Amino acid sequence: MNITTIISNVMNSEIDTMLQVKENIDQSYERAVEKILNCTGKVILLGVGKSGHIGKKLAATFASTGTPSFFVHATEAVHGDLGMIEKEDVVIAISNSGETKEVLNTLPSLRRIGASILSITGNKNSTLAKSSEIAIEVRVEREADQHNLAPTNSSTATLVVGDALALTVSQLKGFKKEDFGLYHPGGSLGKQLFVTGFIKN
């Protein structure tokens, strides 16, 4: 098997996974969007490992499209970073298995704080899903690698689902191009918006 065939197979695996995930959109997505829309605090993404990396990106997406958000590493959370989270916040905990020890360890404190707990997990019957106010199941049949081990299809699916939530919330909030320009004054995006007149001197 040549290199381009392997690359194509990986891409097809991830594309097929997303089409399957799309077919399983249910009311949990609607409930999550409504919860975030009504949030008077911040949206906190929580995870560890590959899920943590996805959480960091999603926090950046929420923040840049009009929803105050940041990422908290699950391990650091139980060593003091839970102090960043308040009652008014919505916590989106990410774990493909729904049994990640570091994530589960945060739940008792999150309940005492009073923050709303949402989750994105590959197993609706997992401890995390059952402990969440709203659980979005993002189930994948297998990963894209030949050993079905490396988080690939599962992490991509979580990223796409998170992006979909963030951008749906942004659109429903009426987030405008000039608002985007306010949060992106630097780099090529800032330059483009400056040239088109969306960023004023």
- The string of pLDDT tens digits covering residues 164-181 is 999 999 999 998 887 777
Which range marks the domain in which residue 74 is found? 3-175
* Number of domains the chain is built from: 1
163 inside domain: yes
194 inside domain: no
Task: Work out the percent of the chain whose per-residue pLDDT is above 90.
Answer: 86
189 inside domain: no
Query: CA 109 to CA 91: how far, in whole Å?
Result: 12
195 inside domain: no
184 inside domain: no
Is the pLDDT assigned to residue 152 strictly greater than 70?
yes
191 inside domain: no
Measured distance between the N- and C-terminal CA atoms of the chain, rounded to whole angstroms: 56
63 inside domain: yes
180 inside domain: no
Angular region, 66: left φ>0, alpha ψ -120 to 50, beta rest: left
Taking residues 46-70, report their average pLDDT: 97
Is the Cβ–Cβ distance between 119 and 94 less than 8 Å? Answer: yes
Is the pLDDT assigned to residue 96 strictly greater than 60?
yes
Is the Cβ–Cβ distance between 111 and 146 less than 8 Å? Answer: no
Tokens of 135: 């659980």
Residue 168: which CATH number? 3.40.50.10490
Amino acid sitting at position 137: E
DSSP-derived letter for residue 41 is S
This prediction has a pTM of 0.92
Is the pLDDT assigned to residue 124 strictly greater than 60?
yes
